[in-house]
Amino acid sequence: MPELPDLEIITGFLRWSIPGVEIKQVEIKEPLVLRCSAKDLIQDLKGRAFTKVTRRGKFLIFDLAPGEHLVFNLMLSGRLQYCRPGEKSRSYLCLQLGFSNGHQLRYYDRKRMGRIYRVQKGDFSSIPQFELLGPEATDPAVDPEVFQKRIRRHPGMIKNILTNQRFLAGIGNAYADEILFAAGILPFRRRPSLTSEELANLHRALGEVLAWAEKELKGRVGADIHVEVRDFLRIHGKGGQVCPVCGGTISEVTANRRRTNFCRGCQK
Q: Is 197 a catalytic residue?
A: no
pLDDT for 140 equals 97
d(CA 87, CA 90): 9
Which pLDDT value is given to residue 122? 86
Cβ(64)–Cβ(20) under 8 Å? no
- Using alpha carbons, select from 72, 74, 67 the residue that is nearest to residue 44: 67
Q: What pLDDT score was predicted for residue 66?
A: 87
In one-letter notation, the amino acid at residue 156 is: G
Give the pLDDT score at 166: 97
Fold of 4-132: N-terminal domain of MutM-like DNA repair proteins (3.20.190)
pTM strictly above 0.85: yes
Residue 135 designated active-site: no
**Class of residue 122 by CB neighbours under 10 A (exposed 0-12, middle 13-18, buried 19+):** exposed
Structure confidence at residue 257 (pLDDT): 81
Q: What is the pLDDT of residue 45?
A: 96
pLDDT digits (tens, 9 = 90+) for 61-88: 999 988 899 999 999 999 999 999 999 9
The candidate with the shortest Cα–Cα distance to 96, out of 110, 109, 85, 107, is 107
- State which residues of the chain have pLDDT below 70: none
Spot the catalytic one: 3, 68, 136, 178.
3
Q: Which of 5, 8, 58, 68 is catalytic?
A: 58
pLDDT given for residue 11 in this prediction? 98
Q: Is 24 a catalytic residue?
A: no
Domain ranges for the chain: 4-132, 144-262
Q: Cα dist. 259→174, 239, 244 in Å?
A: 8, 9, 19
User: Is the previous residue joined to 85 through a cis bond, with omega within 30 degrees of 0?
Assistant: no
The catalytically annotated residue of 48, 230, 258, 259 is 258
* Cα–Cα separations (whole angstroms), residue 207 to 106, 136, 213, 215, 220: 32, 11, 10, 12, 20
| φ/ψ of residue 229, rounded to 5 | -105, 115
Catalytic, 3? Answer yes
Pick the CATH number of 144-262 from 1.10.3720.10, 1.10.287.70, 3.90.800.10, 1.10.8.50: 1.10.8.50
